Structure 1
Amino acid sequence: MFAAHDFYENDHAQFWIKEGILFFKYKSKTFIDLKVAQLVVTARIHFQRERTFPVLCDIRGVVGTDKAGRDFLAQAGSLLTHAVALVANEKVLLTISTFYLQVSKPSVPTQIFTTEAAALNYLKDFIEEK
Structure 2
Amino acid sequence: MQIPPNATEVKKYFTWMGEDGICRTKVKEDAEISLDDAMENTVVVTSFFKDKKFPIMIDARGIKSMSREARSHFSAHGRDSKTNAFDIIIKSPISRVVGNFFLGISKPSVPTKLFENEEDAKHWLQTFI
TM-score for the superposition, normalised by structure 1: 0.84
Show the counterpart of 1:55: 56
Q: Which runs of 4+ in 1 moved over 6 A?
A: none
Show the counterpart of 1:81: 83
Instruction: Give the structure with the larger helix fraction.
Output: 1
Determine the C-alpha separation between the residues in 2 that align with 1:36 and 1:6. 20
For residues 12-35 of structure 1, the C-alpha deviation after alignment (integer angstroms, 9 at most, x for no partner) is 111112211111111111112212
- Cα RMSD after superposing both structures: 2.0
Percent identity over the alignment is 26
State the number of aligned residues.
123
CA drift of 1:108 comes to 0.3
Q: Which moved more, 1:101-110 or 1:11-20?
A: 11-20
Q: Counterparts of 1:88-99 in structure 2 under 5 Å?
A: 88-99=90-101
Structure 1 spans left out of the alignment, 5+ residues:
none
TM-score for the superposition, normalised by structure 2: 0.85
Determine the C-alpha separation between the residues in 2 that align with 1:73 and 1:11. 17
Determine the C-alpha separation between the residues in 2 that align with 1:20 and 1:5. 17
Show the counterpart of 1:31: 32
CA drift of 1:95 comes to 2.7
